[in-house]
Amino acid sequence: MSVKAVKQHKYRVGKMTFLDYFLMAVLAVLALMIIIPFLNVIAISLSPQKDYADNPMMLFPRHPTLDAYKALLNDGRIVTGFLNTLKILVVGLPLSLFLTSTMAYALSRNKFPGKKGIFFLVLFTMIFNGGIVPLYLVMKSLHLTGSLWSVILVGSFSAFNMILMMNYFQGLPESLMESARLDGAGEWKILFSIVLPLAAPIMATITLFYGVGFWNGWYDAMIFLRKADMLPLQNVLRTIIVESSTNVSNASSVDALNKSGFSTGMKMASVFVSMVPIMCFFPMLQKHFAKGVLTGAIKT
C-alpha cells in the first residue's frame, strides 16, 4: 500500500488524539458490561454451591468442578429439551429456507399477473395478524396441537426474512437468468443452480435468523404442546430459571432452592449450555449478516 492510498482513508489519517483514547476507554467499559455477566454465569456453573454463597461476584471458578453439569445431565429434562429443539431445527430449517427462497425468487423476478397482490398479501401479515386464539384453533382443527409440527410450521416462514431475501435477489444481474432461460432452464432450475449459489451472504443471514428463531422459540411450544417430554429447550430452561425463581427477592432463597431442586450452579449451567450453540455459530455467520441486512432492511 502506498502512503498516498493510506492517507486517503479517513480513519487512518493523523495520530491518535485524546478523543481516540477516550473512545477506546468508553468502548472497553461497555464491552466489559456485556462480558462480565457471562463470565459470572460460567464461573458459577463451574463452582461448588458453597463458593457461590461465599462470593457471588466471582469471575473465575476457584475450585472448578463439573458437578452442576453432571446433576443437570442426571435430571435429564434439559437433554430431552435439547433433542426436541434439534428435531425442530433439522426439519424446520430446510423447510423455512425452501418456503422463503421459492417465494422470494418468484417475487423478485420479472413481472407476472398478480405479483403486486401476492406481495401485498405477504406485507399485510407484517402489519396485522389474527392473534394467538384463532391460530390455536386453526392448529387444533388441523390436528397439529400436541405435535412438534405445530412449532415447526408456525416458525417456518417470516415475511420480514422473505423481503430481505427478495431484495437481495433483485440485486442479482438479470442477464444470468436470461441466458439460463435461453439454454432452456426452468425457473426451479434457475433458482437452485444459479440464484442460490450466488446468494451465500443472504442465505447465511436468513439461516441464522430462522435458526435463532427456532432455537429461542418457546411461546408457540407453551401453547401448542402440552406434554413435558415434548417441550423444546427454552421451555425447559424457563421451568428451571424463571418458574423456580419466583421468590428471588426474598432472603429465603435457600428454601426456594430446596423446593425447586435446582442449585444456582445448575441454573447457570443450563443457561450456559443453552447459549453454547449460538456462541459457536454466531461469529461465523456474523460477517455475513451485516451485509445481508444492509442490502435488505433499510430500503424495503
Considering the complex, state which of residue 36 and residue 73 has its C-beta at the smaller distance from another protein: 36
Residue 60 corresponds to which cell in the numbers above?
473465575
Least distance in angstroms from the C-beta of 199 to another protein: 15
Closer Cβ to another protein, 79 or 222, answer by number: 222
Q: Minimal distance in Å, beta carbon 229 to another protein?
A: 19
CB of 197 to another protein, least distance (A): 17
Residue number with CB closer to another protein (141 or 175) = 141
Distance CA 210, CA 281 (A): 13
* Closer of 70 and 181 to another protein (Cβ): 181
Select from 33, 54, 77 the least CA-distant residue to 267.
77
- Cα(290)–Cα(293) distance, integer angstroms: 5
Least CB distance to another protein at residue 106 (A): 4
Distance of CA 142 to the CA centre of its chain: 28
Residue 121: CB atoms within 10 Å: 11
Which residue, 289, 296, 145, 125, is CA-closest to 212? 289
Nine cell digits for residue 59: 469471575
Smallest gap from residue 64 Cβ to another protein (A):
18
Q: Distance between CA 264 and CA 276 in Å, rounded? A: 18
Instruction: Provide CB contacts within 8 A for 273, sequence distance 6+.
Output: 69, 72, 78, 82
55/193 with CB nearer another protein: 55
Tell me how far, at minimum, the Cβ of 130 lies from another protein, in Å.
3
Nearest CB to another protein, comparing residues 84 and 234: 234
